[in-house]
Amino acid sequence: MSRRFLLALLLASMAAGLWAQRKSGPAPSDFHFAIIGDRAGSPEPGVYERAWYEINLFSPAFVINVGDTIRGGGDDSKIDEQWLEAKAILDPFRHIPFYYIPGNHDIWSEASRRAYIRESGRPCHYSFNHGPLHVTVLDNSQAGDGALPDAELQFLERDLAAHKAQPLKLVVFHKPFWIEPVAQGRTDFPLHRLARKYGVTHIVSGHGHRFVHMVHDGVDYMEVGSSGGTMRGKLVRGEGFAQGCFYHYVLAHVRNGRLDFVVKELPPPHGQARFFPASDWDAKGPRFDPAVPATPAR
């Protein structure tokens, strides 16, 4: 049986199972959620809307983003206008719990920070549980080098210590400063030490408008790329799917004590509708032929 058929069957079972959950109530130990990527900078018309349309079809338990919901740009006078623009896109999907992450396009000043807290309805760092999954949200939106400020690391350690009993732990923040130390094989940076100490299984970021996935020392690191923020510069330079430059979102499945990710590229005209397990992508890029919509049988 081909891998492409199996992935299609998985996506169909997600939809069927979640429809059953909608009718009979949630199954907290077996559920799906979605991660949507950046929209900000210069949003490409229709892309973010399409990603939400598809995500909604799976009736996820919740959606979490990786920051950069509004255009940003550093102009405090346009904050309210930009949030109104974003909320108009999100309004049809308000029945889905949505967990915002602060990005550098969302927060660049005290005025924008206050607006982010007001509009997202959440503080800049927080955590929540859903079944066996514990999610910690951190804020490195204004960190120049992207590294987590000491206050965020301190919050992370307190939060993880308070939720040691949760079997699955996901940490999410905007800027993926971890890419360089993970690529170098380092285990000495504070985030990774805390992840290993408290059993964090997955760390997810955004910001770079590029899909990146690496497993390092037992921790799964992923950068979710663009779900609408422009990639024109990358495409002009000749970067494409193999370099992680494609419009996509991520479907996550919690089941039997595992957290697994499937990456879904948007269909034409925004992409080629390829989809694949995140595990089929490593530090060198896709471990499959990008010319096919899904990975071949192995």
44-100 pLDDT, tens per residue?
A: 999 999 999 999 999 999 999 999 999 998 889 999 999 999 999 999 999 999 999
Average pLDDT estimate for 138-163: 96
Tell me the pLDDT band of 232, cut-offs 50, 70 and 90.
confident
The average pLDDT across 192-208 equals: 97
Length of the chain: 298
Query: pTM of the entire structure?
Result: 0.89
Q: How far apart, in whole angstroms, are the C-alpha atoms of residue 260 and residue 246?
A: 20
pLDDT at 13: 45
User: What is residue 236's predicted lDDT score, i.e. its pLDDT?
Assistant: 65
How does pLDDT run across 20-36, given as a tens digit for each residue? 344 345 547 899 999 99
Domain boundaries 32-72+92-259, corresponding CATH code = 3.60.21.10
Beta bridge partners of 168: 133
Q: Residue 22: what pLDDT?
A: 42
- Phi and psi (nearest 5°) for 78? -105, 5
Half-sphere exposure of 140 (CA within 13 A, CB side): 25
